[in-house]
Structure formats: structure tokens, C-alpha cells
Amino acid sequence: MSVSEAVEVDAVRDGVRAARTRPRGDRRLTIALWIGLCAAVLPLISVVVPGAWIVGVLGMTGALLTVGSVLRRLRVPAVGVTVAELAVWAGAVTAAFFADEALFAVIPTPEVFEAVPQLVQEASGEILMGVAPLPPTTSISFVIVAAMGALAIALDHVVVTARMPLLASIALVAVWLIPAIAVPSEVNILAFAFLACAVLALIRAETRTREAPEPGSSAGVTAVAATIGAVAVVAALVTGPALPPPVITAGGTGTLASIDPTLDLGDDLRQRNDVPVLTVRTDAPTLPYLRVATLSVFDGEVWRPDRLRSVSLTDEAMRPVAVDEGIRVTQYRTTVAISNLASAYLPVPFPAVGVTGLDGLWRTVPYSRTVISGQANAQGQDYEVVSQVPRPTVEQIRATRADVPEQVVDVRTLPESTPASVYELAEEVTAEATNDYDRLIALQSWFRSDEFSYSLRSPVLEGFDGSGSDAVAAFLEVREGYCVHFAGAFALMARTLGMPSRIVVGFLPGEYTGDTEGGQRLAEVRTSQLHAWPEVHFEGIGWVAFEPTKSLGNATRFLAASEAGVDDGGEDIAGPT
């Protein structure tokens, strides 16, 4: 046999070997990549409550990788594989989330393309507003499933077509780190082991698919690649959770204040850097409290921010306040100018029925009449809020009950862990009251009496700096704390008396600066005035705020009918007939 003939025979053999091994190698790579995607998405369970989105991710990624594997066996060009995978991805996402708007339930229509940005915006708002673990809403599920499907298509070509498993491993580690950065905590050892094994298996699978390895080279390459992969994974996992959580920033210079829509306010209040946040002017007789979020669900450990449906902020989005006939309602206009606040939450007086002058896309939560955004920022905003304040007489509110006809969110549940001392103190303090309003006034007066002291340090020193049931019991014994403890204790004690309650996070009324603008006195709100206060719902009146925190704010008080009719600004839009 001549040399040329021998070369041709070897080439044929290599081609046959490649034809036989490449499909099996591709299948091995496909399976390894799918396992890697599963490992990368696993930590999301700590951020989003498990639900149908898990099945969606597993099914979507598995189907896309299977389509790619089958088409490659049929010798379809890489471009054709990409087009087919994108078509399957678009059809599957459409069928899962937009079937009613689609053609034949799978073909996207203009209505589908219009709905996608809305879902993404809703998901952004829920993520920014919520606290982990988030409920698996349609918008959040859509973002996760669609994003993981797109990632599967991209990594399919990075791994199987380009044979670059290390690059794919970096992407998988980045996805794995998202929950660790969003919710800083200790590394989950099992999830870490799963990811590490998946990455190393992916690298090993790629080295075994090489067509003409030299003797001994496969093991050497595998060892080097595995070492690099292991070092990369470990380094990322060690440094990732130590990174600070992302902070929304805005234009301007210097450090901007921010808002935590939870009751973890202690560190913010204890900071020494007390700076102006905003200015406010109003035609109301007193400066209003400004809210950013409500917290209704209490599980015994924490009060959780309300994660409820939001709608686009339009002229019709905020409905007028509804009260029983004969209840006076006064409409006020308040102008807010934010100078130093990077936040997706907009401070507004309650109950807001309209907001004008905002830049960017904003949404409102009808239940709480709060204003949020998944894209815009409060920094630099100058806006006017119209609020309609129910102003019952003391006789009217005494004649009604603290109750709520429909529960949009749970505002009644008492955890089994609630200490008996909380029940006993609530009964003792309100023993002489004969109606719900007077019971709450008794609680408010008790907390604001000399029996309590305001302190930012005592809860830390005494070990009860929290809002759980045990922290409330400790606070009621020590009787020193700050707004979180006063509001939490008041709301919990109100529930022991059978009343629906919630907590609001926002800002105290500001202090007048001595300047005027538009004929109104100008007031300034500072970072030290970040605050929390309780609300209780009354039939026919709505949510009524109380101020139990010693030495801060304005204690709630309603006037008797004989003195309630004075003209004190604003415009009466409802009242006695």
C-alpha cells in the first residue's frame, strides 16, 4: 500500500470514528449542560417560593436542548439549529403565558408583544418591592422561565457547537450567584456541591468528545480543565455572598439615602449621617406622614411587606375614598420635592387619590395606596399628591367597630407563638374602655406615657432588636425601644383584641424651615425621620393611623361634633347632610 493510499484509509477511518463518536459525545454534552442548568437555578428556591416555574424551567431547558441535539444528529447547520430552538422557545413561552392572546395558542401576535414589557415591568416592581421568598406570580414565573430558556439556547451553542465549556461554566456560576447576592446568607453546601459536580462533569464530557486525542492527552487536559473549573467555582462562591446587595442609584453627587421597606430600620436610624431627604408643603392644617410601604402579614418572626397587585399610575388608577354616609372627607394637596433619596418607593400622604408631575413609569398598589416603580427612581422627583382624608367625629368612630369586610391580605392572624403576656397586657390596659376606638386610644396613651422610653440602643443591648413575638414580649418588659417596637407591639396587641391591624413604613412629618413657596410654608424631612407606625381598619371609615411611639409624631385624636366643623384648610368633598 502506498503512502497516499494509507493516508486516505486513515482519513476514512477518522471520519467514520468521528461520525460514530460525535453524536454520542454531543448527547453526553447535552445531558451535562442540562444538569448544569438545573444546578444553577436551584438556589432560586430561596428567593422565589417553589411552584410551577420549577417545572417550567426544567421542561423548557430540557426540550430546547433535546431539539438542538436531534437537529445536530440530522446534520442541520448551526444556524438552522438556532432558528429552530428560538422558534420552540417562543412558542413554548407563548403557550405557557400568553395562550389567550396568541394565534392557535402558540404563535405570538401583536398583543403578545405588547404584554411582554408589562409582565417584565410587573416583575421588576414585585422584586424591588418584595422580600424573599417572593410568591411565584405570573410575571416572576415568566421572567424566570423565559430567561432560563434563552440561556439554554445560548449555552447549547457555547458548549456543543463552540466547545467552550469553561465559558458556559462561568455563566452557570453567575446565575447560581444571583440569589446569594440578592439574599446574602451562608453558602448552601448541598447546592454548592451540586453546582461543582455539574461544572466538572460538563468539562469532563467535553474533553471526551475530542476526535483525535493523543495518547495520555485526554487525562491531562481533563485534569487541567477540572482544576481550573474547580478553582473558578470555589472563588466565585467564596466572594459572591460577600458582595454588598445592589443599591438603586440615581443622578446627582454624594451618597443618596435609601428606604428599606421592612422593619429592619434600626441600623438606618442609628447612623450618624442625618441629611435632608425631601421638602414638603401642603394646604392641610398639619404636615402629613409620608408612607412608602405597608406590612400586614405577621408570622411570629417578622412583619412581611405586602406584595400585591399593582396597576399603572393613571388618572383613574386611584379611586376616591369611600366612607359611610355622614362621614366628613376633606381633600388636601401636598407637594413633595425629593433631593436625596434613591428609591423605587415614592413617599406619599394617605390616602392618596392622585399623583401628578412624576417622571418615568410608576405604578400604584390599590390596597395600600402606595406608589412604586420597577424602572424609575424617586431621586429628583417633584410631584403633587391629592389625598382625601376621612374625618369622623369622635362620636362617629366610637359608634363603629374595628373590622374589615374583605381581606385582601391577612390582617388578623395571630401566630401561635404569641406570648400570653401580650394578651394579658392588652386586656389590662384597655379594661376600662367600652368601644374599639377607646381601646386603641388607651393603648396609644399607655405607650406614650412615662412608663416607656424612646431608645435606639436598649433593644440592641438587651437582645430584642426585632419585630417578632419574642421581641415584643421583651420590649413590653424592658419598656425601652424605638418606632419598630412601639408599632409592632401596638399592632400585635390590637390583634389580640380582635382588631385588624397592619404596620406602615415611611417618614414622620417634617419640620418647618421658615421659608415659603407658593404661599405655603416649606417643611424639611430628614433621614432621622424614617419611621414605622400602626394602622387599624374601621368599618365605614377605612384605615386609621395611630402613633404609639413615645415622644415622636402626632398622637391620633378625633374631635367631638361640637368642634369638628371648623374650617382648617382643604376642600370638604363629603360630610354630614
- Give the confidence band of 180 by pLDDT, cuts at 50, 70, 90: low
Give the pLDDT confidence score for residue 163 in this predicted structure.
77
For residue 288, whether the previous peptide bond is cis, meaning omega lies within 30 degrees of 0, is no
In a domain, 6, yes or no: no
For residues 507 and 366, membership in a common domain is answered with yes
> pLDDT value at position 445?
97
DSSP 8-state secondary structure symbol assigned to residue 287: P
How sure is the predictor about 520, in pLDDT bands with cuts at 50, 70 and 90?
A: very high
Instruction: Give yes or no: residues 145 and 288 share one domain.
Output: no
CA distance 63 to 59: 6
Instruction: State the residue range of the domain holding 389.
Output: 266-306+322-564
**Per-residue pLDDT at 138:** 83
Per the structure, the count of domains in the chain is: 2
Q: Are residues 360 and 436 in the same domain?
A: yes
Which range of 142-156, 225-239, 265-279, 308-322 scores highest in mean pLDDT? It is 142-156
3-state secondary structure 213-225: CCCCHHHHHHHHH
What would the grid cell of residue 341 be? Answer: 433619596
**Distances from the Cα of 213 to the Cαs of 26, 201, 216, 218, 450, in angstroms?**
17, 19, 8, 6, 84
**Best CA proximity match to 33, nearest among 228, 211, 199:** 199
pLDDT at 91 over 80: yes
**329 in the same domain as 237:** no
Q: Confidence band (pLDDT; 50, 70, 90) for 336? A: very high
Per-residue confidence band for 389, with pLDDT thresholds at 50, 70 and 90: very high
Is position 498 within any domain? yes
Tell me: pLDDT of 471 over 50: yes
Task: Confirm whether 313 is domain-assigned.
Answer: no
pLDDT of residue 254: 41
Domain check: are 212 and 291 in the same one? no
Q: Look at 1 and 377; give whichever has higher pLDDT.
A: 377
In this predicted structure, what is the pLDDT of residue 505? 93
> Count of alpha carbons within 13 Å of 76, Cβ hemisphere only?
15
Q: Are residues 445 and 558 in the same domain?
A: yes
Instruction: Give me the residues paired with residue 370 across strands.
Output: 365
Q: Are residues 91 and 200 in the same domain?
A: yes
* 227 and 270 together in one domain: no
Please check whether residue 236 is in contact with residue 177, taking contact to mean a CB–CB distance below 8 angstroms. Answer: yes
pTM of the entire structure? Answer: 0.63
- Cα separations (Å) of 148 from 34, 80, 89, 401? 11, 21, 10, 50
Which residue did the predictor score with more confidence, 409 or 251?
Answer: 409
Query: What are the backbone dihedrals phi and psi of residue 356, each rounded to the nearest 5 degrees, phi first?
Result: -130, 160
So what's the pLDDT on residue 502? 95
More confident residue, 40 or 327: 327
Closest CA to 64 of 132, 155, 127, 134: 155
pLDDT higher than threshold 80 for residue 400: yes
What separation, in Å, do the N-terminal and C-terminal C-alpha atoms of the chain show?
115
25 within domain boundaries: yes
The last residue of a domain, from among 227, 242, 257? 242
Cβ 256 vs Cβ 377: under 8 Å = no
Candidates 480, 487, 440; CA nearest to 463 is: 480
Do 272 and 200 fall within a single domain? Answer: no
Max avg pLDDT among 122-131, 144-153, 253-262, 531-540 = 531-540
Burial (CB count <10 Å: 0-12, 13-18, 19+), residue 536: buried
Q: Identify whether 450 is part of a domain.
A: yes
Distances (CA, A) of 449 to 443, 467, 548: 10, 21, 9
- 227 within domain boundaries: yes
Widest Cα–Cα separation across the chain: 120
Residues 186 and 291 in one domain: no
**Segment of 215-219, 265-269, 376-380 carrying the highest mean pLDDT:** 376-380
Last residue of a domain, one of 196, 227, 242: 242
Residue 71 pLDDT exceeds 60: yes
Q: Are 445 and 356 members of one domain?
A: yes
Does any domain span residue 202?
Answer: yes
Do 229 and 343 have their domain in common? no
Say if 573 falls within a structural domain.
no
Question: Which one is predicted more confidently, 196 or 207?
Answer: 196
